[in-house]
Amino acid sequence: MKYQLFSDEYFMNEALKQATKAFYEKEIPIGAVVVINNIIIAKAHNLTERLSDTTAHAEMLAITSASEYLGAKYLDNATIFVTIEPCIMCVGALYWSKISKIVYGATDNKRGFHKIETVLNKKSNSLIHKKTDVKSGILEQECALLMKNFFLEKRKKWVNKKTN
């Protein structure tokens, strides 16, 4: 995006709406939107439960949806806004897509790509395409809170099941 008319927070809020939908559908509450020239061309949230498919992460569905909208393989003018730090699979997919920018909300210390990326610490081995910028921490607390509540609920249900 040469001129970004809306703030990162605006687009992250749109991704958060997707994540909230996922929350109420009992999916892991992660949402993503893909933006080109200030227009959202794809929206998605995690669908691993409904589709019984571990690959149905918000980013994967958003990439496929954006490519379909454009009729093109590469997203080199696009920015993806995603509520949680992408995992290895998703960052691998974003690499292939040659996306211009990745903006994410909260970190994922367990399965986020940074854990691996920092060990690599070499440009030649980076998980991120050399044409891709990365920004993080946008609406971090809101993005993290949704995940925290989701897993808290899940744990509660699990404990109740065990004790009943």
Rounded Cα distance between 51 and 43, Å, is 17
> Which tokens in the block code for residue 104?
């994410």
Please work out, in degrees rounded to the nearest 5, the angle formed at the alpha carbon of residue 75 by the alpha carbons of 71 and 77: 115
Residue 100 contacts a second copy per CB under 8 A:
no
Q: How far is the CB of 64 from a second copy (least distance, A)?
A: 5
Which residue number, 2 or 130, has a Cβ lying nearer to a second copy?
130
The verdict on 74 binding a second copy (CB under 8 A) reads yes
Would residue 137 be called left, alpha or beta, if left means φ above 0 and alpha means ψ between -120 and 50 degrees? left
Q: Is 27 a catalytic residue?
A: no
- Residue identified by tokens 């909230």 is 20
Taking CB under 8 A as the binding criterion, the range among 9-17, 38-46, 49-57, 143-151 that sits at the site for a second copy is 49-57
46: Cα separation from own chain's centroid: 9
Q: Does residue 114 interact with a second copy by CB under 8 A?
A: no
88 binds a second copy (CB under 8 A): yes
Instruction: Check binding of 134 to a second copy (CB under 8 A).
Output: no
Is residue 96 a contact residue for a second copy (CB under 8 A)?
yes
Residues 6+ apart with CB under 8 A from 102: 79, 80, 82, 86, 91, 94, 128, 132, 133, 134, 135
The DSSP symbol for 54 reads T
Closer to a second copy at the Cβ: 60 or 143?
60
Task: Check binding of 41 to a second copy (CB under 8 A).
Answer: no
Per rule CB under 8 A, is residue 84 in the interface with a second copy? no
Nearest CA to 92 out of 113, 77, 70 is that of: 113
Query: Which residues are the active-site residues?
Result: 59
Residues interacting with a second copy, by CB under 8 A?
Answer: 48-49, 51-55, 60, 63-64, 67-68, 70-74, 87-93, 95-98, 115-116, 119-120, 122, 125, 127
